[in-house]
Structure 1
């Protein structure tokens, strides 16, 4: 049975859905790489909210999805931009998410790292920005989670130059109880972060970023680089102090970066590993056995889907991630906090379905097809 899907040119094309999913079983954590999937949040579809209301989260479904990722051996990167930080999820909601997910991680023995930022404020002084970071760092540490020091919109707007970044991050690293992950999120993911580290010149920004790491290598577990520039990431990771990991956040080039070369490799903290979780886990297990070719054979075909989900405007990739979670049966609806389900077009979503189905990502292909048909019908398309 075929399904007709709308294309970007306004025509309908036929797609023959898979009848069997890719066979992937749960498994234990990996030995060759440290891998986090940045997880999305599930909205409460019955909440009476407006675009200006605080996020209403379906906690049961949200935590169930994290158990799904842990069951395949993946770590969970919590309260990151994939969870709609700054795009529907405010600090109060993020704090609750951190506490609940960290407790769930302890219960099941899952690895968790949580985003720490300044989104409870919109600007102010450097002292106020430090205080905002400290408040969030305390929540993550008290919950027993590893902290990810996220890029701060407030700092980007307030800092006068590299020295301010060195001062703020140095202050935070000195007081961190355990080694943290430093996160460099590029402006393609958040335009408000243009010129982070004190310069729009990426070479100068990289030098400042590495100064922060070099001054406190014992307090930095790793750095997460989300610039969608594989060459720059490789150059940066080769300049890191010994023992500091590079977590790729490059959703365009992750297979080659994780596979690595004769001079090293990247670990991973990726939003695309939310929908790719089981398949990504299977691929990393191939690396655990030394089978780099098998790893690439599994993961290379996923890049087309990832590049589609993260196409500009890249910050709206979350819509495709949640859409695929609905099709896969991880949640009962396609609604998002802040109404972000409307951020991508029907042809965009149809192509995401087609690519994911071809990869065998849906545990129940028939359910995915039924839900895709429902969405098409709601838009006036006869599938």
Structure 2
């Protein structure tokens, strides 16, 4: 693929915060394949630099195309020093943050501090370095208890059941306020003064990421018991966990189990590339898009798909419903198709096939390396 070049003929460089994580590493890979250079900042608290080593291997890129630094974004002084080492970036994709729903219920202050302070520090430093195109890794959790199908016009901030989801909602509000303040600044700028760049922010609201790169070399590697269904399924199939407990078998769905909108992680990664292209074309401001398939799969359908992919049984039992769980949650992704030119291209069989390729090749995740 032709290189993604800036005005000076050099490749555009994207700063990817949290780029060693699950979605971040797949997005770094897609960016490299599209001709961008990438600089990753990551604390490696819930990720491993091994993922980035493998991205270089898969893409056959030299280390000059993908650089990384160990950094906690809450340390603003360290962030400032690292950014001084580089010319202003073309854009930034912000994945960094803690994301375990159950942990956030027990450690709310940790989540509010880490996720919000890190974002404030990043915005300040990017603004000073005149990098004013940002793609934020948001979540469908901002919609709380909104009924499906969920559009970008569905209510947000109501019925969110955990601090993790509220940090995503609060950060979106901060980003929205930031772009409004930027408009005000431009309107009141002295006559004849033009801002060299203006803030354009895209918030991508993911539904349920799953799958892995087809090579099986990079994938989701949760620390401790997985919070999400798909990695739990694959860990049961590979023998790391005894069985899956399904929370509720009496919902008004195709088979009584909860239905969720699952998206292949490479489809998500490609959504970030589309978002960067979109920000090149649109006026300044705050933009939101759902990244989902527009339909859903039940828990039992996911179990059967993993059994098909792995050729192994996935022992499971039906337990009681969890408080706050909805029967069915899925996106209306039509706005992303219209404005970003993005839609899901990979289905449940590909998700489970690629997830199993990763899990069977790396039974204990990156720790096997």
TM-score, normalization by structure 1: 0.33
Higher strand share: 2
Structure with the bigger RCO (C-alpha within 8 Å, sep 6+) is 1
Higher helix share: 1
TM-score, normalization by structure 2: 0.34
